[in-house]
Amino acid sequence: MIEVCDLTKRYGDAVAVDGLSFKVKPGQVTGFLGPNGAGKSTTMRALLGLTRPTRGAALIGGRPYRELAEPLRQVGALLEARAVHPGRTSYHHLLGLARSNRIPESRVREVLGTVGLEGVLRRRAGALSLGMAQRLGVAAALLGDPPVLLLDEPVNGLDPEGIRWIRDFMKRLAAEGRTILVSSHLMSEMALTADHLIVVGKGRLLADTTVEAFIAANSRSYIRIRTPEPERLRDVLAGAGVRADSGPDATLEVTGAPVETVGALVAQSRVTVHEVSVQSASLEEAFMRLTADSVGHRAERSAVRSTGGAE
């Protein structure tokens, strides 16, 4: 299990992580979500003992990483995909890591097979494509068959096939009962992959919740109506107890009533309408709204995605 307690990291005056606390449970994929610069990588590096916290602790199985014996057998990590010497072959890169933690050499071929790189094991890492380098990073993380995995932005730079591969792979590893913490700045990606979400912004915890609860709490849906007679329709709706707000471009936005009710009221009142459509705010918008303060600019309204429309 992963435990972050009141973790704070300052670089001079800049605060990268600010009193962050959360726990990550085994058996599920936990998404670690936040805009760029929210402190995700710093937290990951603190968990691996690569960064010393200014205050607080980042623990794995109740201990700091530096105290773990043969840590690759307990924690697998994917940080930068290119953290491999370009002049060394995939096989030798993994062989060195295996030696460092007394992992049998046979395991090297095994993990290269698992990630589908057995064909390029004699190729120098510098000649690998980004997708292959990412797979090599995953192979390194799996080398010690660890119960805990930390993956920092694993889908960055991958093609759609690679993204799907990583996604399925993480789910499979979680189903085996492992603890998986995967960071991302893409809400949509996490919605597809993660079961649980830790959302951070400016180094602070913004949400610690299941993906379902996050979507329910943060996605805003409304009915958009375009009409040449907005005032009249607004009165009609108000008469039925339905609230309508002015939207952009002289539209009305209705929340709190199903589209069937709104459609029926429009028909009864015989008001001309050009559009009645259900608009769902995308998860991306929900995420941007949540982190808007922490990145210092408002989420754009254009992120709203139409899920159905009629003229």
Partner 1 sequence: MTMASTGSAVGSASAPALGSALGSAIAFEWTKARTLRSSLGSLVLCFAASVGIALLFGMVLRGAYDGMSPEGRASFDPVGSGFNGLRLSMIALVVFGVLLTSGEYATGTISSSLAAVPRRGVFYTAKVVTGTSIAFVVAAVVTLVTFFTAQAAIGGAHNAAVTDDGVPRAIIGAVLYLTLACAFSMGLATMLRSSALTLGILVPIFFMGSEILNNLPKVRTVAQFLPDAAGSIILRREPPDDTVLGPWSGIGVLLLWTLAAVLAGYLSMRRRDS
Considering only residues 21 through 60, tell me which ones interact with partner 1, judged by CB under 8 A: 45, 48-52, 60
Q: Which is nearer to partner 1, 72 or 199 (CB)?
A: 72
Q: Which of 19, 37, 61, 230 binds partner 1 (CB under 8 A)?
A: 61
Give the CA count within 13 Å in the CB-facing half-sphere of 263: 10
Q: How far is the CB of 91 from partner 1 (least distance, A)?
A: 9
Residue count (the chain): 311
Residue 145's φ and ψ, nearest 5 degrees, are 50, 55
Part of the chain binding partner 1 (CB under 8 A), chosen from 15-23, 144-152, 200-208, 261-269: 144-152
Distances (CA, A) of 101 to 41, 56, 169: 24, 28, 24
67 binds partner 1 (CB under 8 A): yes
CA dist 269 and 123 (Å) reads 72
Considering only residues 81 through 140, tell me which ones interact with partner 1, judged by CB under 8 A: 82-89, 92, 95-97, 99-102, 140
Q: Which of 25, 66, 172, 274 binds partner 1 (CB under 8 A)?
A: 66
Q: Which of 22, 32, 65, 222 binds partner 1 (CB under 8 A)?
A: 65
CA dist 7 and 269 (Å) reads 59
Part of the chain binding partner 1 (CB under 8 A), chosen from 80-88, 154-162, 260-268, 303-311: 80-88
Q: How far is the CB of 85 from partner 1 (least distance, A)?
A: 5
Q: Which is nearer to partner 1, 52 or 301 (CB)?
A: 52
Part of the chain binding partner 1 (CB under 8 A), chosen from 75-83, 184-192, 259-267, 281-289: 75-83
Helix (H) or strand (E) holding 265: helix 259-269
Q: How far is the CB of 291 from partner 1 (least distance, A)?
A: 26
Q: Total residues contacting partner 1 (rule CB under 8 A)? A: 44
Tokens representing residue 289 in the block:
């709204």
Pick the closest to residue 202 from 287, 295, 292 (CA basis): 295
CA dist 189 and 287 (Å) reads 12
Site string for partner 1, 224-263 (x = CB under 8 A): ----------------------------------------
Say whether 263 sits in a helix, a strand or coil.
helix
Q: Which of 10, 23, 73, 289 binds partner 1 (CB under 8 A)?
A: 73
Amino acid at 18: D
CA dist 198 and 38 (Å) reads 12
79 binds partner 1 (CB under 8 A): yes
Tokens 């603890």, located at residue: 179
CA dist 259 and 225 (Å) reads 10
CA dist 138 and 153 (Å) reads 12
CA dist 266 and 22 (Å) reads 49
Q: Which of 70, 176, 235, 293 binds partner 1 (CB under 8 A)?
A: 70
Q: How far is the CB of 201 from partner 1 (least distance, A)?
A: 23
CA dist 198 and 184 (Å) reads 11
Residues that bind partner 1 (CB under 8 A): 45, 48-52, 60-63, 65-75, 77, 79-80, 82-89, 92, 95-97, 99-102, 140, 146-148
